[in-house]
Structure 1
């Protein structure tokens, strides 16, 4: 009989399908958005703290991010651009951040952008995703960020930016 073999697989699929939008976020939709933003910007700040002060000319962290759909829910997405001091090599800084982030509890994966540039994906223990690249001009590090996917009520008017 196939049922005993299929039943554990079906149970795993059902249990895992809800994981994409479950989180420890508050119940109220506005509070969920605020928590997702705070969580994501906190991960950005953790990465920024890894930089040597002398290497940084300026940090521009977006005040508002974009709310995007994901799976059955939404993600708060943001960005940080770290402008580097004269003479500092962005590629070396990017690689150092990725190495040091692993020691701060991030999982680190390396891949390439569509243009062939090296990119690192950093994911913290809460599921916040950061994409770390050398900015096109070569004098800055670009950090694109996204919260874990979370649910919002169907009748909630989801803002485009938050």
Structure 2
């Protein structure tokens, strides 16, 4: 059976930390689907379609990586994709507390799904999408935090 993992998130923007989780996840899974969830209560900073394109370009040489966007419960999307795993990155204990709760709810919705946590590589741990958005908002160069170039 093919080991498919869904790597869900808002990815606003997708960072080098996210890229690191995907690349390391490829050692564990046959296929990784990067799922960009739409959150009706959040206004995106970077347009969804732009982010999908940038992520697809980042992983163009990795046929085992796919990108989708969705507007549903993550567990439902995983089931629909045939993904038995959710891949998540943890930077710190605060991330763990948050992700642990979500993991439990995902198992409630889709009992066959397992969440796999990878600890962020130490040199990438300080990077967060919210910090990058703030730097970008004030016209600071954010290229070193992203695996692609913004135009």
Larger radius of gyration: 1
Answer yes or no: same fold by TM over 0.5: no
TM-score normalised by structure 2 residue count: 0.29
Q: Which has the higher contact order (CA 8 A, sep 6+)?
A: 2
TM-score normalised by structure 1 residue count: 0.28
